[in-house]
Structure 1
Amino acid sequence: MSTESSAIIIDGSEGEGGGQILRTSLALAAVTGRPLRIVNIRGRRNKPGLLRQHLTAVRAIGAVTAAQLRGAELRSSELEFTPGPVSHGEQVFAVGTAGSATLVFQTVLWPLIVAPGRSRIVFEGGTHNPMAPPFEFLTRVFLPHMRRLGLVIEVKLEQAGFYPAGGGRFVVELEGGRAPAPVELTRRGELREREALALIANLPARVAKRELGVVRRELGWSRDECRVVELEGRGPGNALCLIVEAEAGAELVTGFGTKGARAELVAEQACAELRRWLDAEVPVGEHLADQLLIPMALAARGGHASVFVTTPPSRHTRTNAEIISRFLPVEFVFEALDERRTQVRAKLRG
């Protein structure tokens, strides 16, 4: 990675080499007003370059910043992005496939949060995609933490969009101009509530009931803690969400039903993943760890250090931290506390 003519140059094949590099780079180029050139976009993926959801994210952030774009087309492996001032208002951004609309939301969120103003944005596409946290992760895990940091963000699901049919739709209303408060999440605290949601769209209820039967058997949860949720959707879909509320906030683990996969296997894998988080006794799970890095960096830019404790970070998280540090004068420090827990600190560099 290098810098030329004040533009930030990012190699999208480095680290985990996926779409998060693109999304983080676009968001922070917009926040800082720095021109961006990214090459080898999604260079480590089987289908590299811009797919539909990535192109939607590019065009969405281009729209909210009146940006100049070069290379904004399907399969493009290089992109030049020169942002203008961030503007709020009403927008509709449609992926056009089952690609994750929640990831498009995360791309435009941060420049809109930093700039003063109010926005109402409709996102259309995948809301329950196996390659991204589902809509329920936003409402039960991510957004409650953002509100604790002082951010004003509300979301509403109007229609579910499962892979491969897509067709989902949700609305975001937010108020920008508030810098996030520092993050301090070092203890999980007491477990308070737990809930299993077997989500189905255009499928027999028995699929969901079989999944919940596994949850009761594997985790010992009661029938009152397990429920079937039928969603409106364009095509068939199923996801099992296991939610645990603790003093420090919630964690949500998802198992996605796919054609040919036994409902019992989907549930068993989700239960095993949740048990790993419970056994680690950390406040922050793998996906939330990824998504706390940008607000931590924005708080650090204002002189406020942040810290959280999580499971051993994925390559995805470490790559995200590296990309953020290219745009903001922030240093992330990863310290293994033991084999199950890692402390992540963010502070102003220098």
Structure 2
Amino acid sequence: MIIIDGSEGEGGGQVVRNACALSLVTGEPFRITNVRGRREKPGLMRQHVTAIEAACAIGGAECAGLTVGSSEITFTPGRVRQGDYHFAVGTAGSTGLVLQTVLMPLLLADAPSRLVLEGGTHNMLAPPFDFIAKTFLPIVNRMGPTVEARLVRHGFYPRGGGRIEVDITPAPLRRIECLDRGAPIGETATALFAALPFEIADRMLKRTRKSLPDWLDRSFAVRELPVDQGPGVILLLEAAFEHVTEVVSGFGRLGVAAERIAATTAGRLAGYVESGAFAGPYLADQLLLPFALAGGGSFTTVKPSEHSRTAAAIIERFTGRRCSFDVRHGERNLVTIA
């Protein structure tokens, strides 16, 4: 059995999600102590419990210690079964993070599956649905499988209530290299809001225009969602290239000016564009697992995060594959999985 100290590295929920996915794929049981040991509120939260329950459901697994607040779990995998699955977080907990837990095992199953996930779709501490659909899944689909995701209903924090549907057609994962993103082909800036004044979203876009003066006027748009899908507001910035689309998001928060959120979000996107790298920080986190299960691969990225290094350590424990981070000052950083 693999024993993991959940307070090591970035010490968050990613350790739990990746361990569940890898356990189902490799058949290796594991125990995590000090679950989310570096978080302000350590232990399992509702969304982590749902993610583990989803892993148990698709993989015939058993998990001891599976309660909200638990600081230790023991996970024993079974056999992954394709099927139609419906999982509800029950709060604004991220549907995308639940998907992250079960996607790789279902990609390697014997037949197609369909997922319905309910909860948060646009959360501050997780990549929004738009990132999953436009940035991450296109790379997965280049590796062999076919994954199609649909946003049925937005779910903002703290209300939740969102819904996504995902169709998964398995295939062996093949190794790819993602070194160059190619020429730029377009960009968009969209402010989505629900059950809040229009002027908040409008102020976000006006500040974004100042931060990104080279973008065309037609690139900017405000979209109002039905009142019952809020309250919430999010700024979504997309930079599309030949081989990848980067999505950077900024969430409205009480006590934080719309202009400040917009300036920070635009600055993050500008930093990515200037880097010349293929993967932004969130995509780099997400690519490590499928690349390892494909037998290896490489990609260029911005400065590797502690999330990525922690994910790499978990991957090596289960698969023996090592992720090397070649940090090059003034150049694109190279990540290689072998």
TM (norm. structure 1) is 0.93
Match of 1:240 in 2: 235
2:91 equivalent among 91, 94, 97: 97
Aligned pair 1:312/2:307, yes or no? no
Amino acid aligned to 1:129: N
Match of 2:86, SS?
strand
Aligned pair 1:269/2:260, yes or no? no
Partners of 1:55 and 1:74 within 8 A in 2: yes
Q: Deviations over 1:6-54 (max 9, x none)?
A: x111111111100000100010001111111111110110111110000
Where does structure 2 lack aligned partners over 5 or more consecutive residues? none
Aligned pair 1:201/2:183, yes or no? no
In 1, Cα distance between equivalents of 2:209 and 2:264: 14
1:61 equivalent among 40, 46, 55: 55
Deviation at 1:234, TM superposition (A): 3.5
Partners of 1:296 and 1:346 within 8 A in 2: yes
Match of 2:121, SS?
coil
Partners of 2:91 and 2:120 within 8 A in 1: yes
2:37 equivalent among 43, 50, 55: 43
In 2, Cα distance between equivalents of 1:155 and 1:39: 34
Match of 2:328 in 1: 337
Size of the aligned set, in residue pairs, is: 336
1:141-290 equivalence runs, <5 A: 141-176=135-170, 178-220=171-213, 221-232=215-226, 233-290=228-285
Match of 2:70, SS?
coil
Amino acid aligned to 2:175: P
In 2, Cα distance between equivalents of 1:84 and 1:193: 45
2:73 equivalent among 68, 79, 87: 79
In 2, Cα distance between equivalents of 1:85 and 1:194: 43
Amino acid aligned to 1:150: G
Match of 1:162, SS?
coil
Deviation at 1:340, TM superposition (A): 5.1
Match of 1:3 in 2: none
Match of 2:313 in 1: 322
Partners of 2:2 and 2:30 within 8 A in 1: yes
Cα 1:228–1:111 change in 2 (3 A) is same
Deviation at 1:147, TM superposition (A): 1.4
Deviant stretches of 4+, over 3 Å: none
Match of 2:322, SS?
strand
Match of 1:22 in 2: 16
Aligned pair 1:32/2:26, yes or no? yes
Partners of 1:15 and 1:315 within 8 A in 2: yes
Deviation at 1:231, TM superposition (A): 2.8
Give identity over the alignment, percent. 46
